[in-house]
A and B are shown apart, each in its own frame.
Chain A
Amino acid sequence: EVQLVESGGDLVQPGGSLRLSCVASGFTFDDYMMHWVRQSPGKGLEWVAGISWNSGVTGYVDSVRGRFTISRDSAKNSLFLQMNSLTPEDTALYYCSKGGIAARHPFDSWGQGTLVTVSS
């Protein structure tokens, strides 16, 4: 069974930084593209960032490019999101999700999310 467990969410002041983690199990982590998706309170879903199986390709939504960095560690079966220069608009539940072997693949497994609140 695929399991994705996020952690690292917290209350942070505007301009602050936070690092989210996601530990994966139940599948061969090295084979799959991974993503971060966020959902603001009571709102819809927004893809934030994605990373290829070998970390060779990364992508970001425009609103976070230059502030957020996605990375992965195959030895730890873990996905990360380093978030810098946070603003209140970054407040959301952040989900780790599993993509496919190819980039053009839906997100077939999701964690339960970790909450990031940016407020003074």
Chain B
Amino acid sequence: IVLTQSPGTLSLSPGERATLSCRASQGVTSGYVAWYQQKPGQAPRLLMFDVSTRATGTPDRFSGSGSGTDFALTISRLEPEDFAVYFCQQYGASPWTFGQGTKVEIK
């Protein structure tokens, strides 16, 4: 399953809303979609799983949505620590695959 994320880069200011898209080449089994955040020089960190369940420690300004082939991660109000790269992943069918990432940068 190929995951395509858009946009490649999102330039926003702190306090603004961010919406990241992840489109799958075929339906993702039972909504097994996760989102990861990666900051420079760090390993990825699990943010969301099962489309809309927040991982431990994920602030409630993060929310996930979608079904079938279209999924989204929304950050309601960007905080300075949210500027990073975000990857979606499907884990419903092997090989597990990731999107190419969306960079959220400070405008």
Q: Could you tell me which A residues sit within 8 Å of B by CB distance?
A: 35, 44-47, 50, 59-62, 95, 103-113
Choose among B34, B45, B95, B99 the residue that contacts A44 (Cβ–Cβ < 8 A): B99
Q: List 14 A-B contacts (CB under 8 A).
A: A35-B96, A45-B36, A46-B98, A47-B96, A59-B95, A61-B95, A62-B95, A103-B94, A105-B91, A106-B49, A106-B91, A108-B55, A110-B44, A111-B43
Interface size class of B (residues with CB under 8 A): 20 to 34
- B42 contact set on A, CB distance < 8 A: 112
Looking at chain B's contact residues, the main secondary structure is loop
Q: How far is the CA of A45 from the CA of B42 in the complex (A)?
A: 13
Choose among B29, B96, B98 the residue that contacts A50 (Cβ–Cβ < 8 A): B96
Q: Are the CB atoms of A104 and B98 closer together than 8 Å?
A: no
- B44 contact set on A, CB distance < 8 A: 45, 95, 107, 110
Closest Cβ–Cβ distance, residue A81 to chain B (whole Å): 15
Closest Cβ–Cβ distance, residue B47 to chain A (whole Å): 10
- A104 contact set on B, CB distance < 8 A: 29-30, 32, 91-92
In the complex, whether B87 has a CB less than 8 A from a CB of chain A is yes
> Which residue of A has the minimal Cβ distance to B98?
A45
Contact of A47 with B98 at beta-carbon distance under 8 Å, contacts A104-B29, A104-B32 already known: yes
> Which residue of A has the minimal Cβ distance to B41?
A112
Contact of A110 with B92 at beta-carbon distance under 8 Å, contacts A44-B87, A44-B101, A45-B87 already known: no
In the complex, whether B97 has a CB less than 8 A from a CB of chain A is yes
- B91 contact set on A, CB distance < 8 A: 104-107
In the complex, whether B100 has a CB less than 8 A from a CB of chain A is yes
